[in-house]
Amino acid sequence: MEPFKNLFSRELIAAIGGHLAAHDPAFDRAGFEGMAGDGLEALELKARSAQITRALDAHLPADFAAACDLMLAALHPYTGGVADGEASDGRGLRGWAVMPMADVVAGRGLADFDRAMATLAGGGYMAPAELVGARKVLNAAALTYVAAFVTSLLTLLYWAYRLGLFGGGRRD
C-alpha cells in the first residue's frame, strides 16, 4: 500500500497549479509548482500540506478577495455532497487539493472574517448549518481575546493605583 503522505504529490501540485493558471493567466504556475514541490519526497503528510499552503500563499494574489475568487473559480462544481476520496479532474479541484486552499483562507481570513466564511460556504467546504455553528464558535473564540485584554488592563490599573500613580498607594 502506498504511503498516505503521497496524497500530496507532484501530480496534485500540478493539478492545483493548472487549475489556478487556467482561471488567472497572471498566476505564476511554474513558481508555485517549484516552491510547493521543493524537497517534497523527504516530507511527511502534514509538512507536505504546509509547504503547498505556503506556496499558494506566496503565489496567489495579495488581495484576499481576489485570492478567494481565484480559488473558488478553480474548484470542482459542488454537487451537494462530500466528494470523499474523489480526485481533482478536468472540471476542477476537489479532495485533498482543497486542504491547502482552505488553510490559506484560514490564515489570510483573520483580517476579513466575513469574506473567509463566504469563501468556505461558496466552496462547499461546509454545509449551511455547519457555518452557523462555526460562526458562533469563532465569535466566542474572539471574545476570549477581548476578555484577556480587559483582564490585563484592569491588572495594570490595579498596580498603577497601588504604586500611587493615581493617588492611591501602599497603606502598609
Q: What is the pLDDT of residues 88-99, one digit of tens each?
A: 777 788 888 888
pTM of the model: 0.71
User: Is residue 65's pLDDT more than 70?
Assistant: yes
Domain limits at 19? 4-126
107 and 145 assigned to the same domain: no
Cβ neighbourhood burial of 134 (10 Å; 0-12, 13-18, 19+) = middle
**Secondary structure (3-state) at 91:** coil
105 and 149 assigned to the same domain: no
71 and 141 assigned to the same domain: no
Transcribe 23-65 into DSSP letters.
H-TTS-HHHHHHHHHTTGGG--HHHHHHHHHHHHHHHS-SSHH
First to last CA, the chain: 73
Q: Are 24 and 108 in contact (CB under 8 A)?
A: no
CA atoms within 13 A on the CB side of 77: 3
27 and 70 assigned to the same domain: yes
Poorest-pLDDT segment among 27-36, 42-51, 153-162: 153-162
61 and 90 assigned to the same domain: yes
122 and 161 assigned to the same domain: no
162 and 106 assigned to the same domain: no
User: What confidence category does residue 108 fall into, taking pLDDT thresholds of 50, 70 and 90?
Assistant: confident
19 and 71 assigned to the same domain: yes
24 and 48 assigned to the same domain: yes
121 and 141 assigned to the same domain: no
- How many domains, the chain? 2
